[in-house]
Amino acid sequence: MNREHEYRVCLKRPHPQQERFLRSKAKRKIIRAGRRSGKTTGVAIMAVEYFLDGKRVLYAAPTSEQFAQFWKEVKSALAVLIDAGVFYKNETEHTIERTGTNQCIRAKTAWNADTLRGDYADLLILDEWQLMDETAWNDVGSPMLLDNNGNAVFIYTPPSLHSQEQSKARDPRHGAKMFARIVEEQEADTKEGRIPRSEAFHFRSHDNPHISSEALKDITKDMTHLSYRLEILAEDINEAPGALWTRILIDNARVSNYPTLARVVVGVDPPGGATECGIVVAGIGQCLCKGKPELHAFVLQDRSLKDVPDKWAKEAVAGYKTFNADRVIAEKNFGGDMVESTIRPVDPSVSFKNVTASHGKAVRAEPVSALYEQGKVHHVGPMDVLENEMVSWLPLLSNWSPNRMDALVWVLTELMLGQGAYEAASASSEDFEEPKHRSIWDYGSERWRNRPRIERPGGSVWDPDSDMGREAADRGRELFGWS
């Protein structure tokens, strides 16, 4: 006789939205739901059901908070059977298993392929999926289900920019993109009369009847309307209404290659506290996308990272060298010439320019956003995290620091807007090397003519004495009033 039938398993009764995903027969489920809506408790119920059916379950979450909630739920559901010795619980490994079998629940904190490795499962649950490095699924998650034709559940809450700070995701929208893909597959299967292999679920924080309205009020009291829509209503918002850029603006101008670049600059926005260091490389060159040559900017790479000063300085110098850049440009922040003094020990030969911001970010960013509207800025390939900042940061409203966007603004201002516009956005002009009456884009000057020819990856040499060079200079006079 099977002794476990004599014991009670104390599972919570699922609320209606949990019931929907628990009863679905799909092999891949994605759950997009608001904060405190019962996501983790719902999948803990699922894990116990699978486990009691003799299956092997692996639960992974990037934060210890989620992990703890899941572990508490499964332990309390199976407490009577654990106490009776039917199942064995290991608090170090965070496993509950029937000794000598594959029947097991294992919980772990994991956020990338490496931390997920080393197991197999019939059911893999990835909680707070939006914070994980998405390669964890293709590299490790999917292969670990192969042997047993296992199932997978992805859970996420659309991240506000604030929560993206803790994210290990390469593309902050990877959860939203997977959700959209699964909805498409589901619709196609339904249309063809097949049982969907994948299913998408969406519910809001309010759909959890077990969370009090006071608790909900408490979570939402300091939220902006945008965060409320993302984190409580669980809407996947592609871009923030009122942001300075739109996805379509960036997407429409995206290119896969770039022409010869006349000038390349690395913009550095140093981290304040625990934030990232923005490092963006861009160049300027003649573009034919409008049918006739025009000077356009090409954003080449976003090398931003969160690390110690020595590491980000090395990253900036690596960007400078890779693209044979002319200059590193950085904002003098509270620590004076902090960026310059951090970069100098890494490479004293770097040509450096400090700028001082007196106007707010919005004032500095606006003319740069106008350049995008005029179709004069191209991103070379995708730059997901940078672009996400660009379409999410709200002038006057956002209280987080968009360091990547700032680095981009510095670099494009330097490249495209010339000294005059630069000064308009900056209080102090003593940092400029060029005399005030001349544009930094004075192609006609001796300084420019005597420039060495520079080979750059992805483009040939831009020679100021060539036809193209002369055209660029003419265009520069027309556009920027070069003398």
Binding site for Mg ion (CB under 5 A): 39-40, 66
Name which position in 7, 14, 239, 477 contacts ligand ATP (CB under 6 A).
Answer: 14
Q: Which of residues 205-234 bind ligand ATP (CB under 6 A)?
A: 208, 210-211
Instruction: Please report whether residue 38 would count as binding ligand ATP according to CB under 6 A.
Output: yes
Stretch that binds ligand ATP, among 32-40, 192-200, 235-243, 351-359 (CB under 6 A): 32-40
Instruction: Please report whether residue 32 would count as binding ligand ATP according to CB under 6 A.
Output: no
Beta bridge partners of 379: 299
Q: Which is nearer to ligand ATP, 69 or 445 (CB)?
A: 69
Instruction: Please report whether residue 160 would count as binding ligand ATP according to CB under 6 A.
Output: no
Instruction: Please report whether residue 303 would count as binding ligand ATP according to CB under 6 A.
Output: no
Instruction: Please report whether residue 39 would count as binding ligand ATP according to CB under 6 A.
Output: yes
Q: Which is nearer to ligand ATP, 14 or 367 (CB)?
A: 14
Question: What's the Cα-to-Cα distance from 381 to each of 138, 194, 197, 298, rounded to whole Å?
Answer: 22, 37, 32, 10
The whole-angstrom separation of Cα 115 and Cα 63 is 12
Q: Which is nearer to Mg ion, 104 or 125 (CB)?
A: 125
Q: Which is nearer to Mg ion, 168 or 475 (CB)?
A: 168
Stretch that binds ligand ATP, among 204-212, 391-399, 428-436, 475-483 (CB under 6 A): 204-212
Q: Which pairing describes strands 88-90 and 95-97: parallel, antiparallel, or unpaired? A: antiparallel
| Torsion-angle region of 182 (φ positive above 0: left; ψ -120 to 50: alpha; else: beta) | alpha
Instruction: Please report whether residue 376 would count as binding ligand ATP according to CB under 6 A.
Output: no
Q: Which one of Mg ion, ligand ATP, none is in contact with 438 (Cβ closer than 5 to 8 A by kind)?
A: none
Query: Do residues 123 and 55 make contact, with C-beta atoms less than 8 angstroms apart?
Result: yes
- Which secondary structure element, helix H or strand E, spans residue 205, and what is its range? none
Instruction: Please report whether residue 364 would count as binding ligand ATP according to CB under 6 A.
Output: no
Name which position in 24, 28, 30, 41 contacts ligand ATP (CB under 6 A).
Answer: 41
Radius of gyration in angstroms for the set of CA atoms belonging to the chain, rounded to a whole number: 27
Which residue has the CB atom at the shortest distance from Mg ion?
40
Instruction: Please report whether residue 89 would count as binding ligand ATP according to CB under 6 A.
Output: no
CB atoms within 10 A of CB 425: 22
Instruction: Please report whether residue 18 would count as binding ligand ATP according to CB under 6 A.
Output: yes
The whole-angstrom separation of Cα 231 and Cα 157 is 6
CB atoms within 10 A of CB 417: 24
The whole-angstrom separation of Cα 392 and Cα 183 is 24
- Least distance (Å) between residue 63 CB and ligand ATP: 9
- Least distance (Å) between residue 128 CB and ligand ATP: 7
C-alpha count within 13 angstroms, C-beta hemisphere, residue 127? 29
Query: Do residues 101 and 32 make contact, with C-beta atoms less than 8 angstroms apart?
Result: no
Question: Going edge to edge, which strands form the sheet with 198-203?
Answer: 88-90, 95-97, 104-109, 56-61, 123-126, 151-156, 28-33, 198-203
9-14 contacts: CB < 8 A, separation 24 or more?
Answer: 9/48, 9/52, 9/77, 9/78, 9/80, 9/81, 10/76, 10/77, 10/79, 10/80, 11/45, 11/48, 11/49, 11/77, 12/41, 12/45, 12/73, 12/77, 14/42, 14/45
The whole-angstrom separation of Cα 196 and Cα 199 is 6
Q: How many residues sit close enough to ligand ATP to count as binding (CB under 6 A)? A: 18
Name which position in 36, 174, 229, 378 contacts ligand ATP (CB under 6 A).
Answer: 36
Q: Which one of Mg ion, ligand ATP, none is in contact with 37 (Cβ closer than 5 to 8 A by kind)?
A: ligand ATP
- Least distance (Å) between residue 392 CB and ligand ATP: 20
Phi, psi of 112 (to 5 degrees): -150, 180
Instruction: Please report whether residue 125 would count as binding ligand ATP according to CB under 6 A.
Output: no
Q: Which is nearer to ligand ATP, 214 or 430 (CB)?
A: 214
Instruction: Please report whether residue 204 would count as binding ligand ATP according to CB under 6 A.
Output: no
Amino acid at 319: G
Q: Which is nearer to ligand ATP, 44 or 440 (CB)?
A: 44
Instruction: Please report whether residue 378 would count as binding ligand ATP according to CB under 6 A.
Output: no
**Which residues of this chain interact with ligand ATP, rule CB under 6 A?**
12-15, 18, 35-41, 66, 69, 157, 208, 210-211
